[in-house]
Amino acid sequence: MSPADRPVARAVPGAAMPGTAAAGPDAAAPAPAVGPDTVPRLWRVARVGFDEVRQRPVLLYPEGAVLLNETGAAILRLVDGRRTVREIAERLAGEYHAPDDAARAEILRDVTAYLAGLVARELVHDR
Amino acid sequence: MTADRPTTLLAELTHRCPLHCPYCSNPLELTRAAQELPTDDWKRVLTQARRLGVLQLGLSGGEPMVRKDLEELAAHAHAEGLYTTLVTSGLGFTRPRAERLREAGLEHVQVSLQDADDDNAERIAGVRSVRQKRAAAALATELGFAFTVNVVLHRANLDRIEAIIALAGEMGADRLELANTQFYGWGLVNRDALMPTREQVDRAFEAAERAKQRWRGRMQIVFVLPDYYERYPKPCYGGWGKLYIVVHPDGTAAPCHAAVQITDLTMPNVKDHDLAWIWQESPGFNAFRGDAWMREPCAGCERKCADFGGCRCQAFALTGDARNADPVCSLSPAHGLIEEALRQADGSRPFTYRVLAGEPQSA
């Protein structure tokens, strides 16, 4: 299994249908930009759980699930609809004992990119 | 061949349903109430599914609300740690039962709508149903369920897609599934009546794309393309036996809804086997895993890892052999069947409504 997050049960769009060609949120139109001042919040109907079978944290939502790695789960635990992306990155930099500004900048880039991916899939909202 | 872990189980608890939709995904041979799995069998299946890795459960049918043990099954699923969706017409989703389902841990309710035009909606469903559906939608949001509106699109409702999207928005849906009819079983019987025109599909697609932008952050919109108008086939649920298990009301397990219609395959039954054996070992679930079964043009095709030769069930239904390329694929030697179907369909045929023999009729 890939260490990276991967969707395991994509939107089975048209759950009442045999196999589907989806133009769903993943294939969707351009997503809004996510920056350091964006205040992300988890989609109202999504939640982070833990899959005892795969021993992995998992983001669960209607008709879908995304297996998370530890970093992804750590980011999502800090997404509360109040913290900005920068504040989330700073918290993580503290937790991971980032040694210098370069390391902190890299964490900010990674957190921004990670959340931008989830915003594009409409699992995290930016407003 | 090693199987991945499944993520999704669709439990088709019953084929009984107050609606008669002409595109129903149930098989033509419907199961009678007396042949339905009892409560304890379903509970065992849910437990086995979670152990196998299933995360998402759909309680579906038919109309699952006709099962008196639905609350018990929802509670069992929740205790096992499954994220559970109720797939309902809305009929029977009454306040006391909805409240009990909420207490039982049900998380997500999907209500089907047939159209934004009330008269046409009831003509498609074959029964008076609009008032109850609106009440069900209101209950789903009031009780705080995650709420999806599902609309099967076809020739007779595609032109009202904007009104349909607006209606789902008014209802407070978190998600809207706009799924073009797929032509299996009842849908195939009604293909001439349901087949949209290219212009209808193009307009609807554009309307859905605009709506995705407008509703972003409030209502997630999923638009499922009609595969007859596609150049390449759809990748059957990420590949045969890859993610998905359907258990039919009589306990027959299959990799998708339509697989039981491949009559030269024998599908296992949860009454005879553990779900782990069914998933990993059964000949039915292994029949089209990997690509060793493929013929040309699939076997040598660079797209074979993207769409897996398309849908085995459609290949069987239209060519008589499930090993053939899905004829929806423009590279299939049988693609003429699709072009012919598109030429022939003019919407002039009346609906053949889904009927469970012996059930009371009302329309």
* pLDDT number for residue A7: 44
A34/A36 Cα distance (integer angstroms): 7
Q: Does B257 touch chain A (CB under 8 A)?
A: yes
Partners of residue A65 in chain B, C-beta under 8 Å: 7, 55-56, 83
A65/A10 Cα distance (integer angstroms): 7
Q: What is the mean pLDDT of chain B?
A: 94
Q: What is the per-residue pLDDT across B213-259, written as a single tens digit (0 to 9) for each?
A: 999 999 999 999 889 999 999 888 889 999 999 999 999 999 999 99
The interface residues of chain A toward chain B in range 39-58, judged by CB-CB distance below 8 A, are 43-45, 49, 51-54, 58
B108-113 and B83-88: which strand pairing? Answer: parallel
* pLDDT number for residue B180: 94
Amino acid at B199: E
Q: What is the per-residue pLDDT across A66-114, written as a single tens digit (0 to 9) for each?
A: 999 999 999 999 999 999 999 999 999 999 998 999 999 999 999 999 9
Q: Is the pTM of this model over 0.80?
A: yes
CB atoms within 10 A of CB B304: 15
Q: What is the per-residue pLDDT across A22-45, written as a single tens digit (0 to 9) for each?
A: 334 444 445 568 999 999 999 999
For residue A25, give the DSSP letter: G
Task: State both tokens at A52.
Answer: 């005892």
* pLDDT number for residue B357: 66
Beta bridge partners of B164: none
* pLDDT number for residue B100: 98
Of A13, A64, A126, the CB nearest to B179: A13
User: Inter-chain contact A64–B212, Cβ cutoff 8 Å?
Assistant: no
In chain B, the largest separation of any two C-alpha atoms, in whole Å, equals 57
Q: Which residue of A has its CA nearest to B106?
A: A62
* pLDDT number for residue B346: 84
Residues of chain B with pLDDT under 70: 1-3, 357-363
* pLDDT number for residue A8: 44
Residue A20: band (very low, low, confident or very high) from pLDDT cuts 50, 70, 90: very low
Q: What is the mean pLDDT of chain A?
A: 81
Q: What is the ipTM of this complex?
A: 0.90
* pLDDT number for residue A10: 37
Nearest chain B Cα distance for residue A37, angstroms:
18
